Amino acid sequence: MRRATTSGRIGLALVSAWILVALLGPGIAPHGVGEVVHLDVFDGISRRFPLGTDYLGRDMLSRVLYGARYTVLIAFVATSIAAMSGILLGLAAAAGGWIDMALSRAFDIIIAIPSLMLALVVIAATGASIPVLIGTLAIIYTPGAFRTARALAVGVMALDFVAAARARGERLPYIVVREVLPNVTGPLAADFGLRFVFIVLLLSGLSFLGLGVQPPQADLGALVRENIAGLGFGAPAVLFPAVAIASLTIGMNLVIDSLPGRRRR
């Protein structure tokens, strides 16, 4: 394995930090998530409130620590569903035949709808709840995972060792699991990371529009939205949740770029 680059290490540190926050956040938060602890709203950075206070005088650091859990977990579950179904269907389609035709055409339709637009239509019809959000995000990003997995698998299927396995008389499930899958795990992992970034951005965008995670729950995007009135005062309460999202997505991008087998031009 290639030695990790500096940017890759920074990325890994950022992503692991956010995973830790998602797991432990509420445990290390200095104040309760809904606790009004200060009389001044949109207060600046101070020793007592390292990230200032929000529009109700709640501690922003605690709000971010709690909010990150929603962003990271929803995005992770949605990405896992999208990647899993995309890979399964993609591998099935790589064998060709009518399954390939049907799946490719069906996913082409989903791709032809701008992702934010598709999410908005679903949310308008079903209302915004966390299961709906996860399902919608997963459906929107399944076609991309499908295309990547299919393209990779089609490439491997054409190689000699697969022909050899076929000649040995192995059945399709064996070929897919034992011969194809081990040869595409690297690129699939990179694809997973990329899709995670897309999903975090779309989820944050939806919450920012007030159509994602609903109050009293709040993910990082929702934190930006509820404090947007502080923009005029230059309140840190607007800035920090947005910066938190950015550090998560940039960190993930840095990790992906430093993965072995991926070289930037």
Partner 1 sequence: MIHSPLMVLIGRRVAAALATLIFVSLAVFAIAQLMEGDVAEAILGQSATPEALAGLRQAMHLDQPAWRRYLEWAGGVLTGDLGHSLITGLPMREMIGARLVNSLTLAGLTALVSVPLALALGIMAAVRRGTAFDRAISIATIGIVSVPEFLIATLAVMLFAVTLRWLPALTSTRDVHSIWDLVRVFALPVFSLACFVMAQMVRMTRAAVIDALDTSYCEAARLKGCSPARVVLRHALPNAIGPIANAIALSLSTLLGGVIVVEIIFNYPGIARLMVDAVATRDLPLVQAVAIIFCTAYLILVTTADVVTILANPRLRHR
Residue numbers of the site for partner 1 (CB under 8 A)? 108-110, 112-117, 120-127, 197, 201, 204-205, 208-211, 221, 224, 228, 231-234, 238-239, 242-243, 245-246, 249-250, 252-253, 264-265
**What is the nearest approach in angstroms of partner 1 to the Cβ of residue 57?**
21
* Nearest-approach distance from CB 144 to partner 1, in angstroms: 15
Shortest separation between residue 209's beta carbon and partner 1, angstroms: 5
Question: CB of residue 254 vs partner 1: minimum separation in angstroms?
Answer: 9
Nearer to partner 1, 13 or 121 (CB): 121
Shortest Å distance, C-beta 225 to partner 1: 9
d(CA 174, CA 157) in angstroms, rounded, equals: 13
- Residue (of 35, 38, 65, 34) closest to 53 by Cα position: 38
Residue 8: both structure tokens together: 């890759």
CB of 258 to partner 1, least distance (A): 13
Instruction: Give the residue with the Cβ less far from partner 1, 65 or 200.
Output: 200
Judged by CB, which is closer to partner 1: 11, or 157? Answer: 11
Q: Which is nearer to partner 1, 180 or 254 (CB)?
A: 254
Smallest distance from partner 1 to CB 93, Å: 19
Question: Of the two residues 7 and 80, which places its CB atom closer to partner 1 in the complex?
Answer: 7
Closer residue to partner 1 in complex, CB, 179/236: 236
Distance between CA atoms of residues 46 and 227, nearest Å? 18
Bridge partners, residue 36, by sequence: 58
Comparison of 47 and 265: residue with beta carbon closer to partner 1: 265
